Amino acid sequence: MARPKRIRKVINPPHFKGYRPLGLPEENNPVILNYEEYESIRLSDFELYGQHEAAQVMEVSRPTYARIYESARRKVAQAFVSGRPIVFEGGKVYFDSEWYSCTGCGCWFNHPSKDQEIKNCPLCGAPDIKQYYEDNDQSAIEDVCVCPKCGKEKKHLPDTPCRKEVCPDCNSFMIRKGGPHHYRNGNKNC
Amino acid sequence: MKVAITSTGNSLESKLDSRFGRCSFFVIYDTESKSVEFIPNPNKENVEGAGPASVNLIASRDSKKVVSGEFGAKVKSLFDSLQIQLIVLNDEEKTINEIIELLNHNK
């Protein structure tokens, strides 16, 4: 059995259902674009995120993000070329929204309907609200090789896989920091 | 618009319940008709899944906002999908009356 898909985080789901080509008779063979694929196009081509950042936002691995994005582009191209409508539907996703805090009454709130901008606190109506940002761990975006034996870290070079890098201190092979192998061995050896 | 508030008791003098899924009462307040309805929480003694069950209860009453002290891990994504706004109030001394007044003042 295949490993279950990791659930993807969608920050901004579309607030309409899809697209239809102009000047063609109504056709019932739409291209189904999943929410995660829509989100990948939004992140990569609208927000202009790099694949690393975008993968972090959706809480999937970078290669998985690349697959989602590629599938999204192919579906859009297919719809464009063959003049089929696009319908946003399905996908293994959950929706997320941002948190805000109000300085007037000290409450915290989120804002699920993204098409309207939020200006006032929903509880006391005061306009003194500010958005809450989680501290982004920059090291998580950057690739780092880590030694599973002694824990020494080293910047990852794009051409050499981490498992072929040798630790300068204890001469064992290194692994990617934060990768699946790192989690698996994480508590045993360090 | 209806607002759900978690309450420790079934009167307007009761205080805000800091837990969402296992609060004692839900107060459904209608900002237009000013009506207040107290619903005893049927999921209070649940071992598991009290949060999602309470989300269902609130969604069935058409509330658009929920005021509570704290929301559990399973709840936020459900509310986001249902387009219901969460309001976290870290003040256990606030009474239901005070919260309703704040909401009225807002309008």
Whether the predicted pLDDT of A78 surpasses 60: yes
Query: Which domain CATH number covers A128?
Result: 2.20.28
- Residue A44: Cβ within 10 Å count: 20
> Which chain A residue has the Cα nearest residue B74?
A94
Task: Clarify whether residues A48 and A108 are in a common domain.
Answer: no
Domain-located, residue A110? yes
**A111–B contact, CB cutoff 8 A:** yes
* Burial class of A30 by CB neighbour count within 10 A (0 to 12, 13 to 18, 19+): middle
pLDDT digits (tens, 9 = 90+) for A136-151: 444 455 678 888 888 7
Give the count of domains, chain A.
Answer: 3
Give A90's Cβ-side CA count (13 Å radius): 5
The confidence score (pLDDT) of residue B50 equals 86
Q: What is the mean pLDDT of residues B50-72?
A: 87
Task: Clarify whether residues A16 and A91 are in a common domain.
Answer: yes
Which of these, A99, A60, A80, lies nearest to A180 by C-alpha position? A60
Prediction ipTM score? 0.74
Check B77 against A96: CB less than 8 A apart. yes
**B59–A contact, CB cutoff 8 A:** no
Q: What is the mean pLDDT of residues A36-45?
A: 92
Task: Clarify whether residues A19 and A91 are in a common domain.
Answer: yes
Whether the predicted pLDDT of A188 surpasses 80: no
Distance CA A11, CA A5 (A): 18
* A135 or B100, which is more confident: B100
Q: How confident is the model at residue A32 (pLDDT cuts 50, 70, 90)?
A: very high
CA angle A106, A131, A117 (to 5 degrees): 110
> Which chain B residue has the Cα nearest residue A15?
B83
Query: Which domain CATH number covers B23?
Result: 3.30.420.130
SS (H, E, C) chain A: CCCCCCCEEECCCCCCCEECCCCCCCCCCCEEECHHHHHHHHHHHHCCCCHHHHHHHHCCCHHHHHHHHHHHHHHHHHHHHHCCCEEECCCCEEECCCEEEECCCCEEEECCCCCCCCCCCCCCCCCCEEEECCCCCHHHHCCEEECCCCCCEEECCCCCCHHHCECCCCCCECEECCCHHHHHHHHHHC
Q: Quick one: what percent of chain A has pLDDT higher than 70? A: 85
Provide, as residue numbers in chain A, all residues whose Cβ is less than 8 Å from the Cβ of B31: none
Distance CA A101, CA A131 (A): 6
Task: Clarify whether residues A12 and A90 are in a common domain.
Answer: yes
Task: Clarify whether residues A63 and A16 are in a common domain.
Answer: yes
Domain-located, residue A174? yes
**B26–A contact, CB cutoff 8 A:** no
Give the count of domains, chain B.
Answer: 1
Distances (CA, A) of A126 to A18, A174, B18, B103: 36, 53, 23, 11
Check A125 against B105: CB less than 8 A apart. yes
Distance from CA of A59 to the nearest CA of B (A): 14
Distance CA A85, CA A73 (A): 15
Q: What is the extent of the structural domain holding A166?
A: 143-189
The confidence score (pLDDT) of residue A147 equals 83
Least confident of A62-66, A98-102, B12-16: A98-102
**A109–B contact, CB cutoff 8 A:** yes
Q: What is the extent of the structural domain holding B20?
A: 2-106
Domain-located, residue A1? no
Please tell me which of the candidates B80, B88, B107 has its beta carbon nearest to residue A112: B80
Check B90 against A122: CB less than 8 A apart. no
| CA-based R_g, chain A, Å | 22
Domain closes at, from A95, A124, A154: A95
Beta bridge pairs of residue A144: A155
Check B79 against A108: CB less than 8 A apart. no
Task: Clarify whether residues A23 and A90 are in a common domain.
Answer: yes
The angle, 0 to 180 degrees and rounded to 10, between the axes of the packed helices A62-82 and A51-58 is: 100
Distance CA B95, CA B6 (A): 10
The confidence score (pLDDT) of residue A115 equals 59
Q: What is the mean pLDDT of residues A48-70?
A: 91
Task: Clarify whether residues A83 and A123 are in a common domain.
Answer: no
Tokens standing for residue B50? 């009290």
